[in-house]
Amino acid sequence: MKICVLDGYAANPGDLSWEAMAELGECIVYDRTSPDEIPERAAGCEIVLTNKTVLTASHMEALPTLKYIGVLATGYNVVDIEAARSRGIVVTNIPAYSTHSVAQMVFAHLLNITQRVGHYAEENAQGRWSRQVDFCYWDTPLMELAGKRMGIIGLGNTGMATARLALAFGMEVWAYTSKPQDKLPQGIVTASLDDIFSGCDVVSLHCPLTEDTRELVNAGRLEKMKSSAILINTGRGPLVHEADLAEALNAGQIAAAGLDVLVQEPPQADNPLLKAHNCFITPHIAWATREARTRLMDIAVQNVKSFLNGTPVNNVASTDC
């Protein structure tokens, strides 16, 4: 069995091992692969693994031995699913491996915005505290989370984990979800999108990207938010209309935004959010803790084993999906 990993560097830049995958067949790992390199590198392979390298119908046509595509991520929009299904190619993903890491990043952004630990640490490294007359100083608003209201849009695995953290901080939690109220944990209240945007101190996005949710956060919804409100997006970049958010931040229409995802990654240098007021951006790393990546690698191996045993799991190309 010949296995090709097209872009292994993102999930494993060298601190983890591909040994368990190599035990399943002849395995070659490339750090990165351009679209035109795919036919040559994956030639003769029955199994191809990809993270962000796109596999199109033409790629599949050029790889007649291909039987399995393993996406090393939860989202699988990098694969032409219809083309795979029509050719009988199994496509699997890695669900729920980064739930706790992503929820943690929500609060990393939120605590950064409300406490600005990095800002003060840097100031003090430059001697600012040593020059103070008083025993302390602050030059940013400081906010206590207890008693504030967090709105969570999408209550899947990461949304629910985020809700539980919010409750632990003493926050009130409103959620936009299809789950009925009587099925939710105590302390989580269902709410409409309008109520969440107008009534919450923090809005955190956890819904999938669909045509209905694309640019869910736009000028109209930003206008509804409190001037003290904070937007957090660790979900998908296109959930947010970036120019509208930049304008709202620069105008003081909302207080701040913490973003781990953008529409284009890496972003163009002129993306308005990169220099927007009180906009804090991390480079899509919520998923990238060592613990989460270890789970990803373990699940990827189990996915391939299940396929080889004739009982594929996490098959997103199944006709039953």
Residues taking part in catalysis = 236, 265, 284
Strand partners, 90: 68
Burial of 40 (0-12, 13-18, 19+ CB in 10 A): exposed
Closest CA to 149 of 229, 218, 54: 229
When computed from its CA atoms, the radius of gyration of the chain, rounded to whole angstroms, is: 22
The vertex-250 CA angle with 249 and 252, nearest 5°, equals: 65
Amino acid at 195: D
Measured CA to CA, the distance from residue 97 to residue 280 in angstroms comes to 25
Look up residue 220 and give its two tokens. Answer: 């109209």
Task: Note the Cα 225 to chain centre separation in Å.
Answer: 23
The three-state secondary structure class of 164 is: helix
Q: Which residues of 54-88 are buried (b: 16+ CB within 10 A; e: fewer)?
A: ebeeebbeebeebbbbbbbbbebebbbbebbbebe
Which long-range CB contacts under 8 A does 279-282 form with residues at least 24 apart?
Answer: 279/245, 279/246, 279/249, 280/109, 280/112, 280/113, 280/256, 282/105, 282/108, 282/109, 282/258
Measured CA to CA, the distance from residue 110 to residue 105 in angstroms comes to 8
- Which ranges of 8-56 would DSSP assign to H, the alpha helix? 19-22, 38-41
